[in-house]
Amino acid sequence: MKSRETKLFEGDLSGVEQARRFFKSIAARLGLTEDLAFQIELALVEVWTNIVRHAYSLKKGDFLVSSWTEDDRLYFEVRDDGSPFDPRDFKEPDLERRLNDGQRGGFGCFLTSRLMDGVAYRREDGKNILTLWKRIPLS
CB environment 17-52: b (16+ within 10 A), e (fewer) = ebbeebbeebbeebebeeebbebbbbbbbbbbebbb
* Residues in CB range of 10: below 8 A, 6 or more apart: 18, 62
Largest CA distance in the chain: 47
The pLDDT of residue 3 is above 60: yes
In tens, the pLDDT along 84-129 reads 887 777 666 555 665 666 655 566 677 888 899 999 999 999 999 9
First to last CA, the chain: 14
pLDDT at 55 (0 to 100): 86
What are the residue ranges spanned by the domains of the chain? Answer: 5-135
In tens, the pLDDT along 11-70 reads 999 999 999 999 999 999 999 999 999 999 999 999 999 999 888 877 889 999 999 999
The pLDDT of residue 139 is above 60: yes
pLDDT at 94 (0 to 100): 59
CATH class of the domain defined by 5-135: alpha beta
Q: Which pTM was predicted?
A: 0.86
Q: What is the mean predicted confidence (pLDDT) over 1-11?
A: 88
Residues facing 120 on adjacent strands: 131
